[in-house]
Structure 1
Amino acid sequence: MCDGISKRVVSMWFPRLASDRVLRARPVDGAFALTLKAKNTERIYCLNRAAEQAGLGRGMSFADARAFCPDLISQPARPDLDRAFLASLRRWATRYCPWVGYEGMDGLVLDVSGATHLWGGEPMMLADMRARVSRAGLELRLGLGESRGAAWARAHYGAAQSRLTDLPVAALRIDDQMVTALQRLGLRCIGDLTVAARAPLARRFGPDLMLRLDQAMGHVSEPIMPESVAPQFATRMSLPDPIGLTEDVMGITARLLRPLCDKLKAQEMGARRLCLTLRRVDQGHQQVELRLAAPMRDPSRILPLFERGVGEVDAGFGIDQMRIEATLIVPLPAQQIGSGQSSPDQLNDLITRIGTRIGLENIQRFLPADSHIPERAFSIAPAAFSKPETGWVAPRPRPLCLFPPEPIAARGPQPPVQFRWRRMRLTTGRAIGPERIAPEWWLSDDTWRTGLRDYWQVDTREGRRLWLFYTPQNPGWFAQGEFT
């Protein structure tokens, strides 16, 4: 810290963070609580002030809570959404200072040293915090001090600038058992600990008590680690005059894509999903989502893929703001392209165009599978989420057209000279085989219960090239495929 600038820390505690998050979107009248299952029991996770006034508290079983308050409104808690909401509050708090860290699951800590004068002093800064958070529909308690421990103690057990020595010992961030033991010794506030002998306390309660006391009094520093901010792959533009024509929207989209793709290129990332948000003058929003078959960061390739979605947008009385964001990104390192390499860009663009109509999951490709059984020698996967493979291994040629075995009238282990198939009379011209295929005994497959199969490639004089097999255990001939 520079000379002349004292360390000042602000603790922001949101005592009802989870319930406030839910009630901001859907306000309710009366008691409200969030429940979370712990040890096979539904318990109160967070609740509003009305529920507390009804006698409910955190950790109470949900069954007991309903007995105390039959009109209780509840819904399951979502700790993951609470963490994301706290992360958004952390980003907002950087307006006051760049050093903002997390304080548990419902609080933030800010190192405002040297920044309070920008807000007209500490009281004006704290008042601005309260006003903004109150307008957002959140409950906030603030603590200010020369150390992180002091700020936390004032936020949780006092006022923003309470005397630290008057606060209870629980404000030192120690466990409940230690608090109870100190109270039994008559040490009820922090001031009692500051005048007590340190050595006996350290022997009885260990070094943690003295460490917390020194941290609160500012004798031992606690670092505030700001969260590393991930790059935001989004661009936005506010328009001076509303627009409504498809050509105008596509033109602004092109201008937004260029800086977005530059950001992706600088980070060696590619977008797999893009979201174009259009705000109308009536404050309505419409979104055009584009799911890409392969990661991209070329604006000239991405822009035409938005045409269909933009053409279906209802502009209303006009669009005055546009925002485009890469909502799903994956690594896309730079590659050296030589003259002998073929680019799959055209195929990926085609898959994307078709996928916007029928869904990317419905465009599928065949992939090789490790099996000598013809029906199991391939798998089907969405083309947008798989890569083509060239590892097809087969000892003999396989037909492109496979179908369930169809019996034909013939006898003997040799291919028939004449036979009927699908109401056609065919004559064998050439037969190549046999290729014996045994069933995979470790798998149960009703179609292969007949045992071995001897496969033949049969060229008929009528032009049909069929794939026939003979079953020695239960003599019979079947057709299963056709060569093209």
Structure 2
Amino acid sequence: MFDGIQRRVVSLWFPRLATDRVLRQHPNDAPFVLTLQQKNANRIYCLNAEATRRGLERGMPYSDARAFCPNLQSRPAEPQKDRHFLRILRRWATRYCPWVGLEGDNGLVLDVTGSTHLFGGEDALIADLHHRLERSGISVQIGLADTRGAAWALAHYGQGIIAPSGDTLNTIAELPVAALRLDDETSVGLQRLGLRRISDLASAARAPLTRRFGPNLLLRLDQALGTHPEDITPLAEPPHYGVRLTLPEPIGLTSDVMAGTDRLLRQLCDKLKAQEMGARILCLTLDRVDHGNQKVELRLARPLRDPNRILPLFESGVGAVDAGFGIERLRLEATQVEPLQVEQIGHVSAAQKGALDDLITRLGTRIGLENIHRLLPADSHIPERSFITAPAAYSDPESGWKVTQPRPICLFPPEPIAGTGSNPPDRFRWRRMSLTTGRATGPERISPEWWLEDENWRSGVRDYWRIETRQGRRLWMFYTPQQPGWFVQGEFA
């Protein structure tokens, strides 16, 4: 209680949150469940009302559920999306009060103290919650009481009863002890002692219960009755990386738009620096006086928060904007950000690396960042598998497997040449050229990777040689001892 106002708490329980999320996008009146791999079996994770009426339950093996209900429809569960959906509901619930927190994986808790009169009273607020959620296809059970624990108990076991202010114990007295948010083992232990209802527990001696079940049991009881305070901690709103600028007079020149963008960039980069983040995708929206808008999207090859480097990259996009009768408002938002901690680096290497990243960004605005690739070393001693192709904007050229032996710049499928014996031939023909061996370095024996199937390596080990010919060619050749033969596979620069 504060300032003479009795605290009032609302608990929202979404018993079918996961299936409601899926069925909102794909409506289905048939029995429907979401399955998840649990305890070495594919089990029911969540189910709709029709599946419940058919006798199915959470945790039931999916094979048994199909035996009970042959026309059962299912999809794999996605708990991560369910948690994201619950956070969306939490943000929506702030229309009723500013203090909204999460209650487990499928519930919300609202501190509506002092705000119920804005909706016509407590009954009207609960009715509005029911109406809006059910209209959106979301099943909900609601409880309202003086404490968080009592509201949770009424939502889960009280069929949405509203506890009168100051009468918590009488309202929840007949509810089972499990309504106090106890674990199953404690609930079963209390029932064996004959303490089945909250009223039985409230009238029992406290010392023996504490010795047998620990302090958590009576803590939950005191929280529900209000003798022990329990806070509601709302989630902090995620930082919004967006800024805007409203102009006193419309503008249309590219130089004026760039000046406004520069001003917005410095404000945005200050926000990014405070959170140690860097922007990967920036969206500049230009609102015109005719209520139209133009958007310029900039996809960066590396996360950045340096306005001096980002601003020139906007020039080509801003130059193509149709200002119409003038631009009256500019909005700049970082739609995708990544962690970018402060680093101590040398100014020479930083400038060189930054120039390459900016070049990739400029080319990416024309042909797409996903179309610019680089070769990276791979963790394999097989020549054909010793490199991978990766998007340049999403890969680091300094990381990867380091080979100890030199490899040719040009690598191609093995080409047979005439030769006998395990030593490199003195003279041979390759690609219609007669070549003479000047110097041979090797051999370097490479064995197949036995755990992978590769038709090209079924002949066994290969002995690789670096051959320098008198004609200037520097070749990479190998010999196969199991099936004697010589091949050329690469050429050094």
TM-score by length of 1: 0.72
* Unaligned 5+ runs, structure 1: 240-245, 280-285, 314-319
Question: Which moved further from structure 2: 301-310 or 407-416?
Answer: 301-310
Q: 1:321 to 1:297 in 2, by over 3 A?
A: closer
- 1:413-452 matches, within 5 Å, as 416=426, 419-425=428-434, 428=436, 431=438, 433-441=439-447, 443=449, 446=457, 449=460, 452=463
CA shift for structure 1 position 224: 2.8
Deviations 1:41-74 (A, max 9, x none): 44362313x554x344532555665666666554
DSSP 3-state at the match of 1:221:
coil
Q: Which residue of 1 aligns with 2:250?
A: none
Whole-angstrom CA distance in 1 between matches of 2:246 and 2:447? 67
Whole-angstrom CA distance in 1 between matches of 2:415 and 2:61? 64
CA shift for structure 1 position 11: 1.6
- 1:228-267 matches, within 5 Å, as 228-234=236-242, 260-267=268-275
The correspondence for 2:336, drawn from 321, 327, 330, is: 327
Q: 1:194 to 1:389 in 2, by over 3 A?
A: closer
Q: Which residue of 2 aligns with 1:282?
A: none
Q: Which residue of 2 aligns with 1:109?
A: 109
Say whether residues 1:211 and 2:219 are aligned partners: yes
Q: Which residue of 1 aligns with 2:470?
A: 459
Whether contact under 8 Å (1:458, 1:468) holds in the other structure is no
Q: 1:455 to 1:25 in 2, by over 3 A?
A: closer
Q: 1:75 to 1:236 in 2, by over 3 A?
A: farther
Whether contact under 8 Å (1:166, 1:191) holds in the other structure is no
Whole-angstrom CA distance in 1 between matches of 2:192 and 2:378? 73
Whether contact under 8 Å (2:448, 2:460) holds in the other structure is no
Say whether residues 1:173 and 2:181 are aligned partners: yes
Deviations 1:245-277 (A, max 9, x none): x99999999897665444323322113355789
Q: 1:200 to 1:478 in 2, by over 3 A?
A: closer
Q: Which residue of 2 aligns with 1:43?
A: 44
CA shift for structure 1 position 362: 5.8
Whether contact under 8 Å (1:166, 1:189) holds in the other structure is no
Q: Give the letter for the 2:467 counterpart.
A: W
Q: 1:310 to 1:13 in 2, by over 3 A?
A: farther
Q: 1:466 to 1:478 in 2, by over 3 A?
A: farther
- 1:82-93 matches, within 5 Å, as 82-93=82-93
DSSP 3-state at the match of 1:344:
helix
Q: Give the letter for the 1:108 counterpart.
A: L
Q: Which residue of 1 aligns with 2:16?
A: 16
Q: Which residue of 1 aligns with 2:375?
A: 365
DSSP 3-state at the match of 2:301:
strand
Whether contact under 8 Å (2:476, 2:488) holds in the other structure is yes
Whole-angstrom CA distance in 2 between matches of 1:199 and 1:178? 16
Q: 1:218 to 1:367 in 2, by over 3 A?
A: same
Whether contact under 8 Å (1:187, 1:193) holds in the other structure is yes
Whole-angstrom CA distance in 1 between matches of 2:391 and 2:26? 39
Question: Which moved further from structure 2: 92-101 or 439-448?
Answer: 439-448
Whole-angstrom CA distance in 1 between matches of 2:8 and 2:308? 51
CA shift for structure 1 position 481: 4.1
CA shift for structure 1 position 398: 6.1
Deviations 1:89-143 (A, max 9, x none): 2233344444432212211123344555666665555455445434543233332
CA shift for structure 1 position 435: 1.5
Whole-angstrom CA distance in 2 between matches of 1:67 and 1:93? 40
Whole-angstrom CA distance in 2 between matches of 1:57 and 1:250? 62
CA shift for structure 1 position 84: 0.9
CA shift for structure 1 position 82: 1.3
Whether contact under 8 Å (2:459, 2:480) holds in the other structure is no
- 1:13-412 matches, within 5 Å, as 13-28=13-28, 30-37=29-36, 38-39=38-39, 40-43=41-44, 45-48=46-49, 50-52=50-52, 54-59=53-58, 60=60, 62=62, 73-113=73-113, 122-123=122-123, 125-156=125-156, 157=158, 158-161=160-163, 164=168, 165-167=170-172, 168-170=174-176, 171-175=179-183, 179=187, 187-199=195-207, 201-202=209-210, 207-234=215-242, 260-273=268-281, 291-298=299-306, 324-333=333-342, 338=347, 342-352=351-361, 354-355=363-364, 357=367, 360=370, 363-367=373-377, 380-389=389-398, 399-409=408-418
Whether contact under 8 Å (1:278, 1:321) holds in the other structure is yes
Whole-angstrom CA distance in 1 between matches of 2:387 and 2:34? 47
Whole-angstrom CA distance in 2 between matches of 1:393 and 1:203? 65
Whether contact under 8 Å (1:277, 1:288) holds in the other structure is yes
Whole-angstrom CA distance in 1 between matches of 2:486 and 2:191? 92
CA shift for structure 1 position 480: 4.5
Q: Give the letter for the 1:33 counterpart.
A: F
Deviations 1:296-322 (A, max 9, x none): 235676678789999999xxxxxx998
Q: 1:126 to 1:376 in 2, by over 3 A?
A: closer
Whole-angstrom CA distance in 1 between matches of 2:259 and 2:70? 57
* Unaligned 5+ runs, structure 2: 248-253, 288-293, 322-328, 451-455
Whole-angstrom CA distance in 2 between matches of 1:334 and 1:187? 61
Whole-angstrom CA distance in 1 between matches of 2:16 and 2:404? 64
Deviations 1:344-370 (A, max 9, x none): 334224434555636627612244878
Deviations 1:416-474 (A, max 9, x none): 47x53322345x5x93x3322330458568498575455331231xxx43326585979
Deviations 1:167-200 (A, max 9, x none): 3342222345655665676655433433344445
Whole-angstrom CA distance in 1 between matches of 2:33 and 2:246? 39
Whether contact under 8 Å (1:33, 1:44) holds in the other structure is no
User: Could you say what the CA RMSD is over the residues aligned between the two structures, in angstroms?
Assistant: 5.3
Whether contact under 8 Å (1:169, 1:190) holds in the other structure is yes
DSSP 3-state at the match of 1:35:
strand
Whether contact under 8 Å (2:480, 2:486) holds in the other structure is no
Whole-angstrom CA distance in 1 between matches of 2:489 and 2:280? 40
